[in-house]
Chains A and B, each alone.
Chain A
Amino acid sequence: MVIFAQTPGFDSWLTPFLAPHLGAGPAQAVAMLLVLIGILAFISVNVMFLVWLERKISARIQNRTGPMMTGPRSFAETSMWFGGFLQTPADSIKLLFKEQIVPAKADKVPFYLAPMTIFAVCLSAHVVLPFGPLFWVADLNVGLLYAVGISSLTVLSILMAGWASNSKYSLLGGLRSAAQMLSYEIPLIFALLAPILMAGSLSMVEIVKAQAEYGVWFCVPSLLGLLIYFVSSIAEVNRPPFDIPEAESELVAGYVSEYSGLMFAMFFLAEFANMFLVSGIAATVFLGGWLIPFFDAPELTHPGLVEHPRLWVQVLGLLSFWVKAYFLVVIMMWIRWTFPRLRPDHLMNFGWKFMLPVAFLNLLGSALAVLLYQAYDTYLAFWAVGIVLVVSVVLIMRALKEPPPYRGPR
């Protein structure tokens, strides 16, 4: 059987150590299993850190006392970053020890399946994310499409949860979520098409290599694409200001209303892991992945082909990806704690009537950029197209802006 990995990833690091003991075939299988367990552990630890980060940021923005103070008093007095470090352990222990309540009239099988599938989907999508040069589980030749396709199954778990709970709040939350995710998936995919077109490949690793080859990150020619992708992905992971499916004031907690304890924790975990996943995809596809500006090293531009890769360059590449991904995550949290929730009809209008046409324009511009690059063989083509696109969209928006409603003489 052909495994569609193009460049060997993580498991190729482990196989040489296991092969003398197990034989070549089983060693590869065991190495893959170990890598998957590693990814699972990574997601859990990363999510705990993200929860802590979100609480800290919310506390800074909205002046909440809990996450600033929980824990020994001396810690909080030392530095603003140490105060409240016991908040996440307290949350986790509370969730672990809560009673599992299943509604009597719930549809049992989908009710239990929904939290499991939402986490399984999230775990499978992490497989193609390149964390750094040679730090990936599998470099599929359809990597990006695989990630998007697998992530689109999240809505299924949400529908299952909403329906199986047998409660009107859950059902409405599930329905709203499905409508929102289906609408925002379209601009999201069209935004991702621009870098795919410029790189000429669907593999995440190839897209990063293409950015190294062109000498520009794809956020330069398609800054609009990055913005559209980012906004759509906030809607995809159901975070504010797109959290209409779980609007507390109308729907209690939407599709998670009837879940408690560990099953709720699974939804919570999946939300944060998805947040990191979409930020990681944006960092890889638009922000150059593990590449570092003004720093060229063969380990970064041609991973896997260097005879003796230098460890510190690999670590720098890893750090570069993490800085970019976490930068986007922090922006997502910042948006969450600053903006009010959108109204459903505004949400639909924005998605279909603004984001989709701009995504089309962006795709056309990217095609033009590739043509110009091939004709003149200079990376300035990407800069020119990017600037022209942004300026023209700003001008069009100014021209189409409706005058404010007349409120009578002042």
Chain B
Amino acid sequence: MTDAIFYVLAGLILTSAMSMVQARNLFHAGLALITCFLGVAGLYVLLNAPFIAALQVLIYAGAIAVILLFGFMLTHHVMRDESNKRFSQQAAGMGAAAVMCGVLVAVIGASPWKTGPAPTHIDDLNQLGQQLLTSYLLPFELASVFLLAALVGAIMIARKEEGPPPP
């Protein structure tokens, strides 16, 4: 049962990722990207990580991808199917992807995968919170300070220059 669901999800993720790269239309590419995100959320559910799955849906599919689509809709010529991809670019991209794939397959095949017993508890949320505020406090705080800096920077860039008041 789990295997069958995994293969369905993996097929969904791969096909949507391929169609995202191949789409000639930016909006369609965005929709395929969201399908891909949702498939990954399904994988998290299979891995007994419902919290990560819910966050994947909320943040990636619900917020980031929507802001991406929002950006596409504000650009010019979005209604037209045009893309500046040429055959030479496609060939180069495929070559790079093939090399990457080869490296990944080699590494995954060579490394020993240690498997522990499957977690018996399903209430992992409290543990996650405690770990974030004890063992991993420094990375957690660093990440939030970093995000805050990015936020302040974005506001500073987007802010209008304050000139003399209009007459």
- Chain A residues near B (Cβ < 8 Å): 1-2, 4, 6, 107, 109-110, 140-142, 145-146, 148-150, 152-153, 155-156, 159-160, 162-163, 166, 171, 174-175, 178-179, 182, 185, 200-202
Contact = CB atoms under 8 A, between A and B. Distances in A.
Contacts of B48: 2
A146 B54 contact: yes
Contacts of B66: 152, 155-156, 159, 178, 182
B82 interface: no
A149 B54 contact: yes
A142 B50 contact: yes
Interface string B6-49: 00000000000000000000011001001000000000001010
A159 B122 CA distance: 36
Contacts of A166: 79
Which of the listed residues B1, B2, B34, B51 has the most CB atoms from chain A within 10 Å of its own CB? Answer: B51
A149 B50 contact: no
Nearest to A147: B54
Nearest to A141: B123
Contacts of B62: 149, 152-153, 155-156, 185
Contact of A145 (B5, B54, B74, B126): B54
Q: Among A107, A150, A153, A178, which residue has the most Cβ atoms of chain B within 10 A? A: A153
Contact of B55 (A149, A153, A162, A163): A149
Nearest to B45: A4
Contacts of A146: 50, 54
Instruction: Give the secondary structure class of A's interface.
Output: helix
Contact of B74 (A6, A152, A175, A185): A175
Given A4-B122, A142-B125, A150 B57 contact: yes
Given A153-B61, A178-B66, A163 B27 contact: yes
30 contacts: A1-B1, A2-B122, A4-B50, A4-B122, A6-B123, A107-B27, A140-B50, A142-B50, A142-B51, A142-B54, A145-B55, A145-B58, A146-B54, A152-B57, A152-B58, A152-B61, A152-B63, A155-B62, A156-B34, A156-B65, A156-B66, A159-B69, A166-B79, A174-B73, A175-B73, A178-B70, A182-B63, A182-B66, A201-B125, A202-B125
Report, nearest first, the 9 A-B pairs whose CB atoms are least far apart: A152-B62, A149-B58, A149-B57, A145-B54, A1-B2, A149-B54, A142-B54, A142-B50, A4-B50
Contacts of A163: 27, 69, 73, 78
B132 interface: no
B67 interface: yes
A4 B49 CA distance: 10
Contacts of B126: 200
B81 to A, nearest CB: 10
A402 to B, nearest CB: 19
Interface centre among B1, B34, B65, B122 (most CB of A within 10 A): B122
Contacts of B122: 2, 4, 6, 141
Interface in B119-139: 122-123, 125-126
Contacts of A201: 125
A162 B123 CA distance: 40
Among A4, A148, A155, A201, chain B packs the most CB atoms within 10 A around the CB of A4
A109 B28 CA distance: 9
Contacts of B50: 4, 140-142, 146
A55 to B, nearest CB: 33
A156 B61 contact: yes
B70 A175 contact: yes
A150 B2 CA distance: 23
Contacts of A185: 62-63
B70 A159 contact: yes
A171 B31 CA distance: 16
A146 B61 CA distance: 13
Nearest to B58: A149
A334 B74 CA distance: 36
Given A149-B57, A156-B62, 4 more contacts: A142-B125, A156-B65, A163-B27, A179-B70
